Amino acid sequence: MCGRLSQYHGIHDFVDALSMPYPLLNSIGDQPLERYNVAPTTRVVVLRLEEEKLHADLVRWGWRPHWAKDRAAPINARVEKVAHGPFFRAIWPHRAIVPIDNWFEWVDEGGPKKQPYLIRRRDGQPSLCAGIGQFSTEHNEHDGFVIITADSVGGMVDVHDRRPVVWSPELAREWLASSTSTEQAEQMALNLGETSEVFEWFRVNTEVGNVRNQGPNLISPVDSVG
């Protein structure tokens, strides 16, 4: 999974897709986010449960443990290793949902530049991505999150060999629930993410390669392939 995504709907659209019966603590506001080209290290909307309340916060995309100061903070974590490797051990129990409208991948098609593709759910609903992170009510400098990724099986492998683990609403609620053990969460992430048939993908304007570019033109197809 390459490091670019979109969050342009409002927080209530994401919360409605998740459909959890908890009070919402919304630190983001009610207006559409209108972020069509979201890059790593910036703050991204994250949903998490704490004390029977659903928190909607902006959290930095990327995290590393305090002892790993010699490397950049990863933005993704491979599902095959995340539950048992030492790097993410401290945050593996702290699960979140990263609701996105779509994400982007770049493919070498022989041209002067790699061709960006947009990937999204076919049904128009947000993709509810599995995330883990370090979160605090003070939103301090050590907070951050990563998106869990899996192999792209099926047709999507033609676009990229990794993709986020995306949940159905039912599994997203189970992922967040405090009653779900870390062992259950691992098996979910390994086996129960949405299949490639749920998604569609198409070429988009190469302007998305510049993180300063924003606007709905970045998510419009230049031709349809998926």
* pLDDT digits 0-9 by tens, 162-180: 899 999 999 999 999 999 9
Interval 30-73: pLDDT, tens: 999 999 999 999 999 999 999 999 999 999 999 999 999 888 99
For each of the domains in the chain, give its residue range(s) and CATH number, in order of start.
5-224 (3.90.1680.10)
Asked if 131 and 1 count as a contact pair (C-beta separation under 8 A), the reply is: no
pTM for the predicted model, two decimal places: 0.94
Rounded to 5 degrees, φ, ψ at 25 are -105, 100
13 closest CA partner among 25, 30, 36: 30
CB–CB of 84/72 below 8 Å? no
Cα–Cα distances in Å, from 57 out to 35, 117, 134, 161, 198?
A: 15, 28, 12, 30, 27
The active-site residue, picked from 2, 80, 109, 138, is 2
Q: For 19-23, 135-139, 174-178, which range has the lowest pLDDT when averaged over its residues?
A: 135-139
Rounded average pLDDT over 128-144: 91
- Check if 2 is active-site: yes
The yes-or-no answer on residue 129 being catalytic is no
* Predicted local distance difference test score (pLDDT) of residue 153: 63
> Which residue among the candidates 52, 105, 109, 174 is catalytic per the annotation?
105
